[in-house]
Structures are given as structure tokens and as C-alpha cells.
Amino acid sequence: MSDPTSHLLPRRCTLCPRRCGADRAAGQTGYCGAGDTLRVARAALHFWEEPCISGTRGSGTIFFSGCTLKCCYCQNYPISAEGRGKEITPDRLAEICLELQQKGAHNINLVTPGQWRPLIQLALDKARAAGLHLPILCNTGGYETVENVQAWAGYVDIWLADLKYISSSLSAELSAAPDYFQTAKPAIEAMMAQTGRPVFDEEGILQRGVILRHLALPGQIQDSFAVLDQMAAWNDADPGCFIPSLMSQFTPFYKAAEHGLGRRITTYEYRRVVNYAMDKGLTAGYMQQKSSAREEYTPDFDLTGV
């Protein structure tokens, strides 16, 4: 199904840090796996994000196909690496946003949307013209260009971003991105500059701001400490400029075992990371319970709501 709006996509794609140069407008597939037509794998209320995102009614989460990272442990690998999803038009995406709003969603949560930004922005324009008023959340692995972050201005209210690694050798091994930290750091700073400090409504639901996540990995505690040092530096410079979220939910999905990640993180390892975060003053945020490393938290990409 060829989308007549494909002309919005670049002839030489530089939407992500890979800058692969694919002729997306002509349907050529980029490094991320995306071509010229939107692909969505699931659209539904999601209750497993941070409490200020999921609230009591759920986050209106839309999972897009493709990803600019190649994480060997990705829990969403059927869509990020294998391309599962349904081709839809921006008109249909606009309808999906309105349907999620009708179901009571607190926000519209776009999961790995960067490779589709021009088409998503068209859909959001259409949805807003038809009555969409919810905050828009960009859920990203943090591997973004500053240019792409800035191009979301006026569309994204909340950034839900990862800071995965500091070590270039680790990010090369686990995500095929040796430049991960040097790319993610300025991108995250651009996100914080764009949204400003966190703003909540009367129900405690986030309306603007940045949530910065870190997933602690088994056997990689020293790199987690380095990530927390960076997060603490930002927080020390401007206290409360983002909401930290420390996660323990690593599960050895996909090709994790092939890269030395064949087990879950131990309670002792995670407790060391949590204690380090607290010692660094990163207390005004979220710490996952160790029991969160369960496979039922991973959604089925069965085209629900698409």
C-alpha cells in the first residue's frame, strides 16, 4: 500500500543518527527498517508506564515499527527488528489518536516514532483539528539527533527517553551504536530545553517535561554508575529539570544471551544501583521493584487497535 503522503519523507534520510541516506520517499527501506508507509503494531491503553504517565486510565500507547537502535535484548524485537506491523495512512493514525482519547487515555504515547516524524506530525495536525487535546509523549531510546528533537517542537509535550549507556564499547556490543552516549547526551539536553521543568495537572499526571529512564543490566553495574553520574550532573546544575526513572525489568529477550546477557539482574546488583542513585540525590523519581522483570509486562503486537 503506497501512501500518497510519502513525499513528506526525505529523499536522502537523515532523520536518525545513522544518517543512512535511504530514499524513503521512493519506498527505499532505511537502516531503521522503515520505508514510505507508516507501520503500527499496536494501539491501546497501557498501564505499565510510570505512574504519572499511566495514571488511573492508562497511557494511549501507539507502537511504531522499526527502530534506529539494534539492541540485542529488545523486548519489542518483533516490531523493532522484525518489522511486524500494519501499514496505515496518517488519516488512520489521526483516527487512532482520537479513539484513544475517547477511551479515556491520559496522553498519546508514541513509541519509537522518530523514523516516521513527518507523517506522524501530519496525523497530529489532523487529529488536533478534529478535537485531540491530550499531551503528546515521545517514547525514545535516546538515540536521536538534536535536529530531530528540535523538529518535534510544538508537537511533543513530554519526552520519555532512555539513557542506556556511557561506555562506547558496551553500546557498540549491545546496540550497534558506538556513538550512543555522544549522540544521546546533546539530544537529551535538547529535550529538557524544549519542554522545560516537569508540569503536572491536578491529578498528578505529567503534562510537560522529561522522564529520563535507565535500565540496569546484569553484569554492567559500573556503567550504570556512570549513567547515574551524568544524570546527577544535570540534576545538580538544575534541580528537578527531569524525572529520573530507574528500571529493573531487564529480561533476556531476543539475542541477549549471545551477548553475555543470559540472565536477569540480581537483587544485590539492582540494590547497588538504587543506593548509588539515592546517594547522588536522584530521589525525586521512580525506582522499579525487582519483581517488575516479568514477561507479562511486554505487550503482544497483535495489531490491537490498528
Backbone dihedral angles phi then psi of residue 235, each to the nearest 5 degrees: -70, -35
* Cell numbers 543518527: residue: 17
| Residue range(s) defining the domain that contains residue 232 | 30-297
CB of 135 closer than 8 Å to CB of 157: yes
10 domain residue, yes or no: no
Q: How many domains does the chain have?
A: 1
CATH code, domain with 65: 3.20.20.70
11 domain residue, yes or no: no
54 domain residue, yes or no: yes
pLDDT at 304: 80
Beta bridge partners of 139: 111, 160
| Long-range contacts from 73-76, C-beta under 8 angstroms, 24+ separation | 73/174, 73/217, 73/250, 73/251, 73/252, 73/253, 73/254, 73/255, 73/256, 73/259, 73/261, 74/253, 74/254, 75/251, 75/253, 75/254, 75/298, 76/111, 76/112, 76/298, 76/301
Residue among 81, 56, 57, 82 at smallest CA distance from 69 = 81
Q: What is the pLDDT along the chain (306 residues), one digit of tens a residue?
A: 445 676 789 999 999 999 999 999 999 999 999 999 999 999 999 999 999 999 999 999 999 999 999 999 999 999 999 989 999 999 999 999 999 999 999 999 999 999 999 999 999 999 999 999 999 999 999 999 999 999 999 999 999 999 999 999 999 999 999 999 999 999 999 999 999 999 999 999 999 999 999 999 999 999 999 999 999 999 999 999 999 999 999 999 999 999 999 999 999 999 999 999 999 999 999 998 765 545 545 667 777 888
pLDDT at 1: 44
pTM of the model: 0.94
Q: Is 126 left (phi over 0), alpha (psi -120 to 50) or beta?
A: alpha
* Dist CA 52 CA 59 (whole Å): 10
User: β-strand 86-87 against 39-46: which pairing, if any?
Assistant: antiparallel
277 domain residue, yes or no: yes
16 domain residue, yes or no: no
93 domain residue, yes or no: yes
